[in-house]
Amino acid sequence: MIAAVMPWLLVFLMLNLAAGLWRAWQGPTDGDRLLSALLFGTTSIALLLMIAEWLALPTLRSVALLLVMFASILSLAFFGMPEHGDD
Partner 1 sequence: MIGTLAVDLLLVSILIGLAWQVVRGRVLFRAIVFFVAFGLIMAMIWGRLGVPDLALAEAAIGAGLTGALMLGAFRRLVEIDARQAVSGGLRPSPRLSLLLSLLAGLLVAVLGLAGLELRGGSGEAGRAALDSLHLTGLGNPVSAVLLLFRGLDTVFEMLVLLGAFLGARHVAERDRRSGAAIASHRLPMVGALQMTVVPLALVVALHLLRAGANDPGGAFQAGAVLAAGGVLLTLTGRVVPQAQAGLLTRFSLIFGTLMLAGSGIVPLIYGGVLMAPPGKTAIYAIEAAMMVSIGVTLSLLFSASAGLRAVRS
Partner 2 sequence: MIDVFALVLLIGGCGFMFAGTVGLLRLPDVYCRLHAQTKADNLGLLLICAALALLSESLLAASLLLLIWLLGLVASTVSAHLIARHARAAERVDRGKGR
Using alpha carbons, select from 66, 54, 58 the residue that is nearest to residue 2.
54
Tell the smallest beta-carbon distance from residue 87 to partner 2 (Å): 17
Per DSSP, the residues of 28-85 read SSHHHHHHHHHHHHHHHHHHHHHHHHHTT-THHHHHHHHHHHHHHHHHHHHHT-----
Tell the smallest beta-carbon distance from residue 22 to partner 1 (Å): 10
Q: Does 65 bind partner 2 (CB under 8 A)?
A: yes
The helix or strand, by DSSP H or E, that contains position 5, with its residue range, turns out to be helix 2-26
Q: Which of 59, 69, 85, 87 binds partner 2 (CB under 8 A)?
A: 69
Binding positions for partner 2, rule: CB under 8 A: 1-2, 5, 9, 12-13, 16, 19-20, 22-23, 29-32, 34-36, 38-39, 41-43, 45-46, 49-50, 52-53, 58, 61-62, 64-65, 68-69, 71-72, 74-76, 78-79, 81, 83
